[in-house]
């Protein structure tokens, strides 16, 4: 007695479920709904006073503009939440997630003054979405002012117009300095007095019309030590030079101890 064939089985013995079907492209009629209150809902959340979560920040594009006549501050509401990962390497515990409304555009390198006076710098590229701007902010830990040894200037007759001096070239600005991962070592150098520290610092400072004049060889004081800038990178500065961060490297100056 012969077995009954499957109802789906064709005369040629191939089941329709396994027979390829030719692809025929066609236009879609699906319409995706974007909630009209997407931006205003999040803005309303940010305007809710949640202690330790939502804050008001002053956005500072150029730190030195705040001292100029006619300066008008810009303010933004944002959520400031510490990163889940914590590590002493590169001071990652100083970084936090930053979620802001879209009323004021923020950019990498902007300095942020929180309502309680704490100062931060945006050190990640800002991602813009329909209802939020996301980035990461890092706590500023140094008010850096930079000095430079300036040679004397004489006129054609040999008279001193300006004596050699140690000049302030960059007024105080909040920035971030961290110790480069590794162990500090000390060595001697030929024809140079004292022990030379191999301790290396990494730093980030806002790019603006003043800090763009920082040069290798400039010095600053942090704590009780003097540090000399040995490298300056512009890889985190906008291609048009409008905003961003200057990445600096510095080493401790031998004998450069300052009064506490």
Chain segment 185-235, per-residue pLDDT in tens = 666 666 666 666 667 889 999 999 999 999 999 999 998 889 999 999 999
Looking at the fold, whether 79 and 177 belong to one and the same domain comes out as: no
Instruction: Give the span between the Cα atoms of 42 and 216, in whole angstroms.
Output: 45
**135 and 162 share a domain?**
no
> pTM for this structure?
0.79
Residues of the domain holding 81: 38-139
Q: Which pLDDT tens digit goes with each residue over 85-112?
A: 766 666 667 889 999 999 899 999 999 9
* Distance, CA of 248 to CA of 214 (rounded, Å): 10
Q: Which of these three, 120, 139, 158, is where a domain ends?
A: 139
* Contact residues for 114 (Cβ-Cβ < 8 A; gap 6+): 55, 56, 57, 80, 120
Domain boundary among 116, 139, 162: 139
User: What is the C-alpha separation between 251 and 219, in angstroms, rounded?
Assistant: 10
- Stronger pLDDT, 115 or 183, i.e. the higher one: 115
3 occurs within a structural domain: no
Residue that finishes a domain, picked among 139, 160, 175 = 139
């Amino acid at each position: 007695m012969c077995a009954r064939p499957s109802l789906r089985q064709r005369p040629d013995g191939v089941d329709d479920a396994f027979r390829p079907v030719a692809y025929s492209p066609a236009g879609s009629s699906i319409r995706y709904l974007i909630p009209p209150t997407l931006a205003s809902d999040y803005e309303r959340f940010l305007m809710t006073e949640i202690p330790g979560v939502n804050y008001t920040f002053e956005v500072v594009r150029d730190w030195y503009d705040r001292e100029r006549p006619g300066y008008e501050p810009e303010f933004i509401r944002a959520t400031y939440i510490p990163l889940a990962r914590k590590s002493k390497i590169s001071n990652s515990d100083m970084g936090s997630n930053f979620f802001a409304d879209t009323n004021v555009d923020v950019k990498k390198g902007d300095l942020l003054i929180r309502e309680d006076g704490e100062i931060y710098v945006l050190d990640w590229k800002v991602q813009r979405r329909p209802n939020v701007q996301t980035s990461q902010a890092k706590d500023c830990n140094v008010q850096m002012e930079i000095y430079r040894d300036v040679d004397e200037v004489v006129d054609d007759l040999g008279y001193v117009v300006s004596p050699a001096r140690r000049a302030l070239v960059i007024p105080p600005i909040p920035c971030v300095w961290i110790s480069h991962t590794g162990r500090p070592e000390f060595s001697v150098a030929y024809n140079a007095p004292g022990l030379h520290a191999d301790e290396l610092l990494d730093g980030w400072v806002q790019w603006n019309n003043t800090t763009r004049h920082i040069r290798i060889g400039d010095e600053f004081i942090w704590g009780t030590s003097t540090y000399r800038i040995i490298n300056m990178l512009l890889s985190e500065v906008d291609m048009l030079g409008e905003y961003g961060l200057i990445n600096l490297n510095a080493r401790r100056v031998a004998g450069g101890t300052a009064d506490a």
